[in-house]
Amino acid sequence: MANSGGRGSRIVDGADASISWAVYPAGSISADKSAHFGAPAASTALLQELVQSLGLPTPGDPAPEATANQIVPTNPELEFAPQFVFEVTAVNTFFQNGVLVGTDVLRIFDDGIPEGWETIATPVPLTYVTQGEDLVVSVWAGSKVAPKINPNENNDDFQIRNPRLVLPDGRSLKPDGYTDPDLALNMGDSAGKLDFYDATFTIPEDAYMAVAHSWDTTAVADGQHSVLASNGVDAKTRTVTVDNTAPVVTTSVVAGQLYQDEFMIEGGATDAGAGFDTLVATLDGRVVELPYATSSIELADGEHTLLLAARDNVGNVEKVSTVFSTPVEEPGNELITPLDGATVEEGPVDLTARATDPTGDQLHVTLRQGFTASAAASSVRSYSGTTANAKGADRAAKTLLTGDQVTAMARLDGTIEPVTSDSQFPYQLFEVDLPTQAGVDFTARVRWDGTANADAKVLLYVQNLTTGAWEEFDRHVTIGEGATAFTLDAMVPALDHVQNQVMTVLIQHSEGFAGADLSDRSSVLPVNNVNDTARADYDFTLAVESDTQYYNDTFYQRQLDIHDYLLDQRAAINLQYLIHTGDIVDNFEDEHQWTNANAAYAMLDDAQLPYGVLAGNHDVGQKDADYAAYKANFGAERFEVNPWYGDSFEDNRGHYDLTTAGGIDFIMLYLGWAPSEEGIAWLNEVLAQYPERTAILNLHEYMLTTDGLGAVPQQIYDEVVAPNANVAMVFSGHYHDAFTRIDQFDDNGDGTPDRSVYQLLFDYQGLPEGGQSFLRLLHFDNAVEQISVRTYSPYLDVYNSDDPTLDLVHQEFTVPYAAFGMTKVQKSLGTDAFTVDILTTTAIAAVAPVTIRVVRART
């Protein structure tokens, strides 16, 4: 049975003999697709009288199911769901406190109620109510994961009072053993508190003022059916619609057919019952909108799967899968005479070529004029160099290659003179003079052959004269290959890529920004604190700050203490990057807090100190996830001019930075508060693009103070941290503590762990003055290959807090590079050969559609 909204519930008759009802859609609630309906209780004698007066058959004992004109058995029932009601206070936001019956969760209450009492009312479905049995409804103190007790996690502490069950007839029942409505029950996992409270209710027999029957609608035909109910005095009839039939799906695509050229994919659905609701189409797993125009050229050759899924208004679903195919659409050619690379005598030249097509189509064949040049040609100037900014337009420091250097790149012979660097990105650049006969609409076929060090990324760019930037055409990653030979090639249109008859090609090792060393292990520097890690014991430093909201609200000097220290000691500790894991401000609607934060981070902007931020719950209004103020102050526009800024997700709701320090390539990946499915998918997309980099994933909420994970953090762990072999560390805040958790992963599936991921919680906002300016310093020692993690307050000028809630083992520790396979690498880039073919549109000869495959012309 189905109602127009497609929602399932019961047909219930009240004590006044009026009937109200809603109907189960097929399969949406009841596994047996049954409708449950009720009517007021009546005596057997009255029912028999009603049956006879209506001319209906006497019911069997019992009737197995509802069929036409049949009296059905019933059972006593409440008229509608009773309400479990109580007052609550001192609830903390996001803890999964719950109302349960048995193990079934009826409601989660996780909105913060810091003070005052609020009433929570929860309907108890009638499926849990049985005449003659007590009803037990429970209130549980939840963790951040679920409404249950986990000895290893923290559960919420709050109070409830006056629990009661409000019946349909208006009566309010108290739980067994609870008599004082003002008595507050202390809930939580602390000593002397209740993990859960079971409210046991004995429902009076006279509360069951209705009767009910469950109807298996799959046993009857689709269509309209009449339901009659009577209390022996009054009778009510209602007409309901049964619809257990899915929509009928049609498509223009014929299974098994070969489609060539352009064609249209069409599809539709109809439903004779409750009506058609939605049709979704996917082509090879990708959602498409119908009608969908495509062609055998656009689609890859081979089989394709069209899936149409239709749903009607009550949830019946029909899926139709159709497999079709498209042919290979790759005409080819073969030069017969003259041979490739041959030298011909002056005068007319006979040109012979063979045209091919795998499907035997007729072909239009044109022989066109072209030019070619190698690195040794006088029309090509070759350069090499290194840079700190991989996409920087300025290459004035490049070195012109001459003599044997150029000769070595003239042909593919394995003769290579690589460019190397321990701290910057090698590159090779080629300026190609174009012949005047090339015209303005040619295509340049660019090919580069060479080598790079292991675990490197090399990109082929061509300068775009319209944007002024380097436009990427090809890339290669040498993950797992060692220093191996590979090829980059591209088809480059003349438009936007030629200036003064010159095209500029860049072969660039790596992406992002490499910060210059501001000091080294041998530097003699003034002592800041006698307990500082000795400068001779590390190469560079990364810093972490988190949950600075109270600073930018009330204790602003504490925020300035951190940034003053970092800028003052930047050179001394060779600080290369700063991470902020969220909650920049305390109240996202308070403009003065954003004003303070802007000024504090403008200090870093002005000093060109690379840093990244993300939004915490206080930056976006907790559950509201209102990113407007955050984006206005720390949106992508603020950062995208920086050479280390990679890209943005939803205007800096997420972003990544590409930075290299001490010869180690990092990707600093951020996703702010309330991660969405799209945001998590974006994390995976980015990590897949940079397998060669050590990834540090930054989140606001991730690890609990007991090293557990909430529901969404667990999803990120399962879907992002576990499957991506380049994830090395996860930094987070939000929870007031410091904790380190280490998990191992078998990335290659051989049964042996390949990677340990260090997950670091750091949030000292619970200390006086909002955190006393404590920050994290990560000193990277390339010689010993380990990171020394230190916790320091420039305000107190001390390492590590002496607060008893903060364990020293989680404030100061080391992380070995080997845990996640990180190592310093010398970058190397070498060219074996470079060629450019200029393919013009100038025709030498053209042949109409041909079936003969050999084409000849003279020029």
pLDDT average, residue stretch 77-87: 97
Report the alpha-carbon distance of residue 833 to residue 285 in Å, rounded: 40
Q: What is the pLDDT of residue 482?
A: 63
Here the tokens at position 302 are: 């081979």
Lowest mean pLDDT among 208-212, 334-338, 679-683, 745-749: 334-338
pLDDT tens readout for residues 638-684: 999 999 999 999 999 999 999 999 999 999 999 999 999 999 999 99
Using the predicted structure, report yes or no on whether residue 815 has a pLDDT greater than 60: yes
Lowest mean pLDDT among 100-104, 152-156, 757-761, 770-774: 152-156
Q: Please give the single-letter amino acid code of residue 794.
A: P
* Per-chain mean pLDDT for the chain: 90
> The whole model's pTM is what?
0.82
Asked if residue 43 has pLDDT above 90, the reply is no
Query: In whole angstroms, what separates CA 414 from the centre of its chain?
Result: 43
For residue 852, what pLDDT band results from cuts at 50, 70 and 90? low
| Domains of the chain as residue ranges with CATH | 10-78+209-242 (no CATH), 87-195 (no CATH), 248-326 (2.60.40.10), 334-369+843-858 (no CATH), 373-476+490-515+831-840 (2.60.120), 535-820 (3.60.21.10)
Rounded-to-integer distance, Cα 358 and Cα 332, Å: 9
Q: Would you list the DSSP string of 812-855?
A: SEEEEGGGGT-----EEEEEEEEEEEEEEEEEEEEEEEESS-EE
CB 612 within 8 A of CB 605: no
Mean pLDDT on 387-412: 92
Mean pLDDT of the region 784-793: 99
Which single residue is written with the structure tokens 């042909």? 411
pLDDT at 45 over 60: no
pLDDT in tens, 697-723: 999 999 998 888 988 999 999 999 999
Q: Which of 134, 147, 183 is nearest to 162 (CA)?
A: 183
pLDDT higher than 70, residue 41: no
Q: What is the pLDDT of residues 291-308, one digit of tens each?
A: 999 999 999 999 999 999
Do the beta carbons of residue 317 and residue 246 sit within 8 Å? yes
Region 554-559: mean pLDDT is 98
User: Does the pLDDT value for residue 34 go beyond 80?
Assistant: no
DSSP string, 175-240: PTT---TTPEEEESSSTTSBSEEEEEE---GGG--EEEEEEEGGGS-SEEEEEEEE-SS-EEEEEE
Residue 851: pLDDT band (50, 70, 90) is low
Q: Given this model, what pLDDT does residue 361 score? A: 80
**Residues 6 or more apart whose Cβ sits within 8 Å of residue 555:** 769, 770
Which of residues 809 and 710 earns the better pLDDT score? 809
- 3-state SS, residue 249: strand
Average pLDDT over residues 47-70: 45
> Following DSSP, what letter does each residue of 284-333 receive, concatenated?
TTEEEPSSEEEETTTSPSEEEEEEEEEEETTS-EEEEEEEEEE-----EE
Residue type for position 508: Q
855: pLDDT confidence band, cut at 50, 70 and 90?
Answer: confident
Flag whether pLDDT at 12 surpasses 60.
Answer: no
d(CA 788, CA 494): 52
As a whole number, mean pLDDT of residues 228-246 equals 90
Side-chain-facing half-sphere of 508: CA atoms under 13 Å: 26
Give tens-digit pLDDT for 432-490.
999 999 999 999 999 999 999 999 999 999 999 999 999 999 999 998 766 688 999 99
66: closest CA among 218, 209, 210? Answer: 218
User: How many CB atoms neighbour CB 272 within 10 A?
Assistant: 13
363, 355 contact by CB (below 8 A): yes
Q: How many helices (H) and strands (E) does the chain have?
A: 9, 53
